[in-house]
Chain A
Amino acid sequence: MSLANDRPLRFARQYKLQWETAQNAWVLLYPEGLIKLTESAGEILQRIDGQRTATDIISSLQAAFPGADLQQDVSDFLEHAHDKGWIITH
């Protein structure tokens, strides 16, 4: 399934993103467990708020990390998160 760039993204029901001090990382919580996110995955998923689209998220990241070409990596990761069922478009 390909992810539309122009539709707002949100977390699927049951998925929760949370900062965990004990793990010093963002984690994604769901009924069967949790996924400890890498720093960059955390940066991306933090920006999912039910309003921003994939395009918005990429520009927000590019503003925060100028000089890096993030486009492809971010798209790939969002695609992955979508395939996994963590995030959905609405």
Chain B
Amino acid sequence: MTKAGSSPTDTTNVPQIKPPLWVNAEITYKCPLHCVFCYNPLNYASTFEKELTTEEWLKALGEARELGAVQLGISGGEPLMRDDAEEIVAEASKMGYYVNLLTSGIGLTEKRIAAFKAGGLDQIQLSFQDSTKEMNDFLSSTRTFDLKLKVARLIKQYDYPMVLNVVLHRLNIDHIEQILEMAEEMQADHVELANSQYYAWALKNREHLMPSREQLEHAEAVCNQFRARLGNKMKLYFVVPDYYQDRPKACMNGWGTVFLNIAPDGLALPCHEARMLPGLEFPNLRDHDVRSIWYESDAFNAYRGDGWMKEPCRSCDEKHKDFGGCRCQAFMLTGDARNADPVCSKSPHHALVTDQVALAQQPRASDDDVRPLIIFRDDGNSRRLS
């Protein structure tokens, strides 16, 4: 592998590297949906012709398992767009992974769920865009709502807990009550209501997606009512956008510490979004084994430890708590991945975040006005934005 030109490779302060624990296998970026907040890279369509084969996936997963990885997410895109998803799940389960399938539910027929169950799949996470058909159609621009309800029933029928992920944003967050009523009707056991994070397509659409403070407060109050009424029967997690906070998230629990993301084309990444970081040459599973990628590649060593940090993180006493936040967010907003994540109030770039939050307090335009302004995730837009 050639050395990455300007990447920070000062690894003198790197503590002993621990093996990866979590693998997220994005087995394809193909997806029948067009979510406005999609976290797939803008140029996702460029991976279509280069997807790893079944054998290549199994080889990579086997190598990661040998190093000690034990949690496995099978995601995408829509992982069910690949007809070898069952085979990958079954083989991974045999290797000893705890396997989690993250799906929009499209393509999850009874035949397929039976095969997953037989293959040892441990959990299914179903994602939903909204509870009202109209809104759902608007948000995903396909007619998928009834189908998801059917899938929710199948998941229960096959004795999986019903885990529901709903991405919240300015355009759907006021429907929170209907969303939770629907979740209750589906007998959801866990509901994660996370506000969209502003990466990839969501960053493109950020001003249309960021909720106002008032919207967040309303949503949280409704969540609390449901919590009080349903208790442990339906566990609710509500996550506000990090822009509303003054300390960043401990992104990935630190770069290259536990998490290995494998993109459909075999690129090994320390997080879903890292592909866009400049100056790093991410290794491909086609050319390298997981061991050398994890322990030796410049890309995985780039932001390990704290030797790469600049001020204010370098001398901050919280640096082992949040690791300076998210490298991708720092790069996207400030142009330098080594800067503090500007969500942090100590960051000299913090105004980039608070200005956006201020903008989100402005009166909400009607959906009809917003709709033409949104950039939907689709193959045409992906090729245009590459």
Q: Which residues of A contact B (CB under 8 A)?
A: 13-14, 16, 18, 20-23, 27, 29-31, 33-34
Rounded to whole angstroms, the CA-CA distance of A21 and B21 in the bound complex is 13
| Beta-carbon contact of A29 and B68 below 8 Å | no
The A-B contact count (CB < 8 A) is 34
- Chain A residues contacting B98 (CB-CB under 8 Å) are 16, 29-31, 34
Q: A14-B123, A16-B122, A31-B122 are in contact. Are A22 and B67 (CB under 8 A)?
A: yes
Decide yes or no whether B76 CB sits under 8 A from chain A. Answer: no
Q: Are A31 and B70 in contact (CB under 8 A)?
A: no
A34 to B122, CA, bound (A): 14
* B96 adjacent to chain A (CB < 8 Å): yes
Q: Which residue of chain B is the closest to A23 with respect to CB atoms?
A: B68
Q: How many residues of B contact A (CB 8 A)?
A: 15
* Minimum CB distance partner of B22 in chain A: A33
Contacts of B148-167 to chain A: CB distance below 8 A? 159, 161, 163
Q: How many angstroms from the CA of A65 to the CA of B324 in the assembled complex?
A: 47
B68 touches A20 (CB 8 A): yes
The residue of chain A having its C-beta at the shortest distance from the C-beta of B97 within the complex is A29
Q: Assess whether B256 is interfacial by the CB under 8 Å rule.
A: no
A20-B68, A23-B68 known; A31 and B123 CB under 8 Å? yes
Report how far A13 CA is from B98 CA in the complex, Å: 13
A33 to B71 alpha-carbon distance, docked (Å): 7
Sample 15 A-B pairs with CB under 8 A, ordered by A number. A13-B159, A14-B161, A16-B122, A18-B70, A20-B68, A20-B70, A21-B68, A22-B68, A23-B68, A27-B70, A29-B122, A31-B123, A34-B21, A34-B70, A34-B71
Q: A34 — which chain B residues lie within 8 A by C-beta? A: 21, 70-71, 98
Could you say which residues of chain B place their CB within 8 Å of the CB of A13? 159, 161
**In this complex, which of A20, A22, A33 has the most chain B Cβ atoms within 10 angstroms of its Cβ?**
A22
Contact status of A31 and B67, CB under 8 A, knowing A14-B122, A16-B122: no
